Amino acid sequence: MRLIDNLQQRLFRWKTDGTAPIRLDQRRIFILPSQGGLLYSLALVVMLLGAINYNLALGHALVFLLAGLGLTGMVHTFRNLHGLGITAGRCTPVFVGETAQFELIIDNNRPTPRRDLNFAAEKGLSSVIAVNGHDQAKILVPLPARQRGWLTLPRIHLSTRYPLGLFTAWSYLQPAMRCLAYPQPITTTLPESTLPTKGNASHGLGGQEDFAGFRERQPADALRHVAWKASARNNGQRPLLIKLFAGGSDAELSLDWSATDPGQSVETRLSILAGWVLEANGLNLTYGLRLPGREIPAANGQSHSERCLEALALFSP
């Protein structure tokens, strides 16, 4: 199998197609009989031998009729890809362990529909789409994010067996697309040493002005923060509850690389920081991020959260 893969890599090497629209012409489309097509051909040969042996005129007619049907199917399988337009879309950032979805825009400039278009960037993961005549459609090509940083879209295998399944037509695409993979977050409570304890907290344990609700206790939470009365109403059937207070807000939270355990790996420490960013963003805190060689000033909001996660994803120790 490795020899076959290496041979395919040498025979079908394509330069990156870039971000410009791709239009499939006859030089980029390949076609071969499928397994069902080979069995179909073998059956025709057996039928032809029988017709010749028994001198059956109707047998000859049937064999040539079926052979013509197969050849017509081959032409239509090729035409199902010929002239198809593909344009690179966008990809939303994901966390490590999730599946990135690369968007492609499929353009059908013919009046007839295109059926059974199969896109795969990795074996075992594919997306199938059909496009109506003179229409466009969007498809998401899945690719697992196994490590943080930029995830580059590899060569895409586009194939079809429409309409009879006797032939497989395929083409290779490699649009210039990449997706950012954030570190996989580890859910831990924000360390007390980094929580604001003076002034008014925007939303967290540090503010003591306005009661904002409860949340379930995490293993790292101190017992003095437990709402014992509210927890007693659960009759021991739910985890202990922690009080949340909201105040109005000039305190800033610092998410510092040095606050993580230096004995852990770089990836684990980045995952802890990613979890803190999500926690702080969920509580609407004003927070900053400090990494070796880079510091992001305190702010809040979704765009600030994405900026911090991007810094963690691209961090180089």
Q: For the chain, what is the domain count?
A: 2
What is the rounded CA–CA span in Å between residue 32 and residue 22?
Answer: 23
Is pLDDT of 22 > 80? Answer: yes
Q: pLDDT-based confidence at 20, cuts 50/70/90?
A: confident
Question: Does 145 share its domain with 25?
Answer: yes
Q: pLDDT-based confidence at 243, cuts 50/70/90?
A: low
Nearest to 250 by CA among 183, 187, 298: 298
Nearest to 276 by CA among 292, 294, 258, 262: 258
User: Which residue range(s) make up the domain with 305?
Assistant: 192-313
Stated pTM of the model: 0.75
Between residues 38 and 245, the one the model is more confident about: 38
Question: Does 168 share its domain with 43?
Answer: yes
The pLDDT of residue 200 is 42
Question: Does 115 share its domain with 233?
Answer: no
Residue 38 falls inside a structural domain: yes
Mean pLDDT is lowest, of 109-118, 229-238, 301-310, for 229-238
- Using the 3D structure, point to which of 151, 181, 211 is the last residue of a domain: 181
What is the rounded CA–CA span in Å between residue 241 and residue 227?
Answer: 6
Is pLDDT of 307 > 60? Answer: yes
Is pLDDT of 205 > 50? Answer: no
Question: Does 29 share its domain with 169?
Answer: yes
Q: pLDDT-based confidence at 208, cuts 50/70/90?
A: very low
Q: Mean pLDDT across the stretch 87-111?
A: 95
Residue 163 falls inside a structural domain: yes
The 3-class SS string of the chain reads: CHHHHHHHHHHCCCCCCECCCEECCHHHCEEEECHHHHHHHHHHHHHHHHHHHHCCHHHHHHHHHHHHHHHHHHHHHHHCCCCCEEEECCCCCEECCCEEEEEEEEEECCCCCEEEEEEEEECCEEEEEEECCCEEEEEEEEEECCCCEEEECCCEEEEECCCCCCEEEEEEECECCEEEEECCCCCCCCCHHHCCCCCCCCCECCCCCEEEEEEECCCCCCHHHECHHHHHCCCCCCCCEEEEEECCCCCCEEEEHHHCCCCCCHHHHHHHHHHHHHHHHHCCCCEEEEECCEEEEEECCHHHHHHHHHHHHCCCC
Residue 73 falls inside a structural domain: yes
Q: pLDDT-based confidence at 203, cuts 50/70/90?
A: very low
